[in-house]
Amino acid sequence: MKKILMAAIASSALLAFGGSAQDTVSSPIGLWKTIDDHSGKPRSLMRVTESNGEFLGKVEKLLREPGEDQHPKCGKCEGALKDQPILGMTVMTGMKHEGNSNEYVDGRLFDPDSGNTYKGKMTLIDNGKKLNVRGYIGIPLLGRSQTWLREE
């Protein structure tokens, strides 16, 4: 009961300042720290925005070790992205909110390390503090996931 009351108070306070309770819990818009699913180390900061009902993700900052190339280019990319800087690259496109859930589907995820594009989906978890991003070929079972952490 105490948790329900606290949630109601938090929602009321947010509404009083012009927001909505849903905005804080179910929107992936914002800045996210990506975590490498193999090493567990932070890799980048990703800015997620929304345009015409589709969510996009752009590399805002790379979190590189001192000995690593601080301004890598996409050597494995093809076409217009060939040898373009990874910093500023849009690597997530087409994600659409699915109903009243915390899921976003039908997206595309581009991996600059491999030059491959995958089908993608994402799910907000932990009250919107984390974003589970899954890239896959064919069906979601055949893929891999990363958990991104909300920075703002």
DSSP string, the chain: -HHHHHHHHHHHHHHHTT--HHHHHH---EEEEEE-TTT--EEEEEEEEEETTEEEEEEEEE---TTS-SS-B-TT--GGGTT-BSTT-EEEEEEEE-TTSSEEEEEEEEETTTTEEEEEEEEEETTTTEEEEEEESSSTTSEEEEEEEE--
**Burial class, 55, CB count within 10 angstroms (exposed 0-12 / middle 13-18 / buried 19+):** buried
Q: Categorize the per-residue pLDDT at 119 as very low, low, confident or very high, splitting at 50, 70 and 90.
A: very high
Query: CB of 111 within 8 A of CB of 91?
Result: yes
**Mean pLDDT over each residue of the chain, to the nearest integer:** 84
Q: Is the pLDDT of residue 4 over 50?
A: no
pLDDT band at residue 142, thresholds of 50, 70 and 90?
Answer: confident
Per-domain residue ranges of the chain: 27-150
Check pLDDT > 50 for residue 107.
yes
Q: Which residues pair with 83 in a beta bridge?
A: none
Provide the pLDDT for residue 56: 97
Between the alpha carbon of residue 84 and those of residues 31, 56, 77, 120, the distances in Å are: 22, 18, 8, 23
pLDDT tens digits for range 61-89: 999 999 999 999 999 999 989 999 999 99
Q: How confident is the model at residue 36 (pLDDT cuts 50, 70, 90)?
A: confident
Q: What is the pLDDT of residue 15?
A: 34
Q: Is the pLDDT of residue 95 over 50?
A: yes
Tell me which CATH code domain 27-150 carries: 2.40.128.520
Give the model's pLDDT for residue 40.
Answer: 87
Using the structure block, give the residue that is written with the tokens 């190339």.
69
